[in-house]
Structure 1
Amino acid sequence: MFRNLCGGVANRPPTHAPPAVPFGAALRFWLKLGCISFGGPAGQIAIMHRELVEQRRWISEPRFLHALNYCMVLPGPEAQQLATYIGWLLHGTRGGIAAGALFVLPSLLLLIALSAAYLAWGQLPWVAALFYGIKAAVAAIVLHAMWRLGGKTLKTPLAWALACGSLAALAWLKWPFPVVVLGAGAIGWLAARVAPAQVVVLVAAAATPTTARATVIDDHAPPPPHACFSRRGLARVLGVGALLWVLSMGALIAWQGWQATLTQMGWFFSKAALITFGGAYAVLPYVNQAAVQQHQWLTAAQMMDGLALGETTPGPLIMIVAFVGQLGATAEVVRACGGASGCAAWALGWGAVGALVATWFTFLPSFVFILAGGPLVESTRGKLALTAPLAAITAAVVGVIGSLALFFIAHVAFPAGAAAGFDSKPDWAALALVAAAAWALARLRWGVIRVIVLCALGGGALRWAGLA
């Protein structure tokens, strides 16, 4: 089924294709992406699309969307998995590991530092003022992502129906994210059998190139040799992934014992990594219940503060697990030493270990999903029965991003009343910042970092002037 997709002349890459991307240049980009990947998954996907598809032309739009559709149906952080997938497609296993790790590393180091500062000094007014502006920029980034993807994808009545339906299902009906995504895929599969002519238009709309300029990985190019499916390769990746997990968990049990905090963190975040369908917001209630109520690694107020840090730092929002791991490990040391001399330094170091444990067990399955499933996904390109469900998911994702945009705007406009029925007056200053940031992104075509920095300064100025 898969063997004939790795050879032949029908899909031979065009002779005008640009030269391959140097591995060093890719490393520099993935590190940059890890430092600027604000805005949650929608914003991060938008950044990757602009950088990789429109500007650098490393991958064509159809292949980018094909990879995105696969990542959307996986448990775990879809933006980090998309970076891993594209890195793997460009440079094989080493490229995938480098892309996925560098996507997370800056956020991990920053969260460890911020968590330590949070434990030492708590919240400072000037930091809260900067976060006030950054949250407005994040809402604008998500809005911009919805506008861009919708303009490329919503070209048919079926696409519009899927986008509007997914928005209503998530924002008002509160359906689980997996139900929405799988339902969209099922509709695409059914439409391919009942009305194939309409589905061809849907697939073509989802795969319309952004520009005619050549790409390094063109849509007509066959999978590179490392992307060819083989049962031996699949077994090898699954075996290595399972071995790494067994060795890691075994080391924690041998070192700390089964009931120790670090071991329980490794076990809990391994389970969380396999059920995080729908991104961070879908799994946060599960993490909150276990970390706050069951294990008491941190308090409910600290969990909310960690979510704020996760929303306003680069990297996937699920990186809040590093904050949970750090505070849980730190609390264990504080309880053990009872404020004795030298406790602070020991707690700081042990907290960093907790953050690393939580991050390792959360993200290990994501690498396995991509490196094992990537060749299978590459083999489905061009098959209507398989691409139609993925194209339908792409249309539904527009509504998913719209739901996320509504969530962010509601919490920007009603920071105190969003969870209590919006009884308070809207924060018009924050909404003005959102509108200005959206205008700068869409019309002035300003970069994400520029918008975030200016919004942070604007938020600080508004707070200083007493207008917010």
Structure 2
Amino acid sequence: MSDAQAAPRYTLWQLVRYMLGLGSWGFGGPVALAGFMYRDLVEQRQWIAEAEYKEGMALAQLMPGPLAAQLAIYLGYVHHRVLGATLVGLAFVLPSFLMVVAIGAAYRAYGGIAWMQAVFYGVGASVIGIITMSAWKLTTKNIGRDKLLWAIFAISAAVTVVTKSEVVWLFLGSGVLVWLLRAPPPWFSRGQANAVAAPLAGFFALDALDWHKLGQIGAYFAYAGSFVFGSGLAIVPFLYSGVVQEYGWLTDRQFVDAVAVAMITPGPVVITTGFIGYLVAGFWGAVVAAAATFVPCYFFTILPAPYFKKHGKRPGIVAFVDGVTAAAIGAITGAVVVIGQRSISDATTAALALLTVAVLWRFKKLPEPVVVAAAALAGLLLYPLARG
């Protein structure tokens, strides 16, 4: 492991180019994106050690903000520290940001995106299949036959399905449980246990009550990025309460379209904040909203990263990370059910999701963008029939 850290098999610019590509074609939301990073960087290229990937996943789950972006930032930090984290994070987010700005301009110019309902009809169902395969790969690779981790996985999945959210205290508790059972510290064995665990949060929240609209946008989305735990669509209910109900910046229809834009564009789902910002205050609104959302998660990743790098190989930390990882994968699996309830609305979309799983199972090297493009065409063809 130390040899790999001292002499990485890749350059920073190779990793930046990879993240630019992933941000340009990586469909499926945070679950799929995390799966792509594991497949490409750990299994195929072997640029990142599996232990380092698991550390990044654990950190991304513990800290508030978008999971996929935080994982990408941490992987950039692994061998290239702050410069790597910064450039990789920008490369990962920039392509999807430019796409949502362009779509936002078209949306404002032409008064809505009617065709998007048809595209999302097909893509949304196909994405469920992609996420299902990613969740299956993560589960079989990281949990194996470990009964304790399977129990944590099952509980986390069930809680996610029931609450329709990811509970950070469940991640923390799972990590502490595995740590205390498998690598207990001396004070625990002496019966002197003290439980003190809480993630960093909130130092980017701002008071926006009397600011100009850009200031309001920046403050609100910084608050969202600082306090919302979970990945991808977990931020959507929080955004709805602010941009629709509290500020009245968007109508219900516009907000639903904003979520659809995030789902049919590659890259992190949270980039929907850029689209919302564009609708509220044009280009600079998009810049402020996206930056305010991602800057907190950047700091929440690079600040604790040195401690993960320095102490991550200790038995207690390894056990803690195993517990958090099992809970995180359980939550990801539960999210498949939650998102599926929103995206699979009839027999046609159910068939598309199952067909996606079958195709990816049979043709393991088939690029996901090809599957998504085919699903988009299927949606354009089938949506009028389904609604006719």
TM-score where L is the length of structure 2: 0.88
In structure 2, the partner of 1:160 is 150
Alpha carbons of structure 1 residues 91 and 174: separation in structure 2 relative to 1, 3 Å = closer
In structure 2, the partner of 1:89 is 78
The equivalent position to 2:40 in structure 1, one of 18, 42, 51, is 51
1:39 CA displacement? 1.1
Contact kept, 8 Å, 1:306 with 1:323, in 2: the verdict is yes
In structure 1, the partner of 2:196 is none
Matches within 5 A, 1:27-426: 27-154=16-143, 155-173=145-163, 177-192=167-182, 258-329=210-281, 351-414=282-345
In structure 2, the partner of 1:208 is none
Equivalent position amino acid for 1:384 in 2: P
Distance 1:455 1:393 in 2: 34
- Residue 388 (structure 2) pairs with residue 457 (structure 1): no
Distance 1:18 1:186 in 2: 33
1:125 CA displacement? 4.8
1:79 CA displacement? 0.8
Contact kept, 8 Å, 2:125 with 2:353, in 1: the verdict is yes
1:14 CA displacement? 7.0
- Residue 350 (structure 2) pairs with residue 431 (structure 1): yes
Distance 1:169 1:28 in 2: 37
Distance 1:39 1:408 in 2: 11
In structure 2, the partner of 1:21 is 10
Distance 2:124 2:269 in 1: 13
Structure 1: stretches of 5+ with no match in the other structure: 1-10, 197-241, 330-350, 415-426
Equivalent position amino acid for 1:452 in 2: V
Identity %: 32
In structure 1, the partner of 2:199 is none
1:34 CA displacement? 0.8
1:45 CA displacement? 0.2
Equivalent position amino acid for 2:168 in 1: P
Say what the alpha-carbon RMSD is for the aligned residues.
2.8
User: The residue matched to 1:168 in structure 2 has which SS?
Assistant: helix
Alpha carbons of structure 1 residues 393 and 110: separation in structure 2 relative to 1, 3 Å = same
Distance 1:285 1:402 in 2: 20
Distance 1:271 1:464 in 2: 40
Distance 1:258 1:102 in 2: 34
Deviations 1:26-63 (A, max 9, x none): 22211101112211110110111111111211112222
Distance 1:28 1:13 in 2: 24
Alpha carbons of structure 1 residues 297 and 19: separation in structure 2 relative to 1, 3 Å = closer
Equivalent position amino acid for 2:161 in 1: A
Larger radius of gyration: 1
Distance 2:78 2:22 in 1: 17
Deviations 1:106-146 (A, max 9, x none): 11111111112122224455433222211122111110111
Contact kept, 8 Å, 2:152 with 2:326, in 1: the verdict is yes
1:307 CA displacement? 0.9
User: The residue matched to 1:379 in structure 2 has which SS?
Assistant: helix
User: The residue matched to 1:13 in structure 2 has which SS?
Assistant: helix
Deviations 1:400-450 (A, max 9, x none): 111111122212222xxxxxxxxxxxx111111111111222221112111
Equivalent position amino acid for 2:102 in 1: A
Alpha carbons of structure 1 residues 90 and 318: separation in structure 2 relative to 1, 3 Å = same
Alpha carbons of structure 1 residues 82 and 148: separation in structure 2 relative to 1, 3 Å = same
Distance 2:386 2:253 in 1: 26
Distance 2:114 2:219 in 1: 37
Alpha carbons of structure 1 residues 438 and 363: separation in structure 2 relative to 1, 3 Å = same
Distance 2:34 2:125 in 1: 18
In structure 2, the partner of 1:344 is none
Contact kept, 8 Å, 1:145 with 1:401, in 2: the verdict is no
Distance 1:52 1:12 in 2: 18
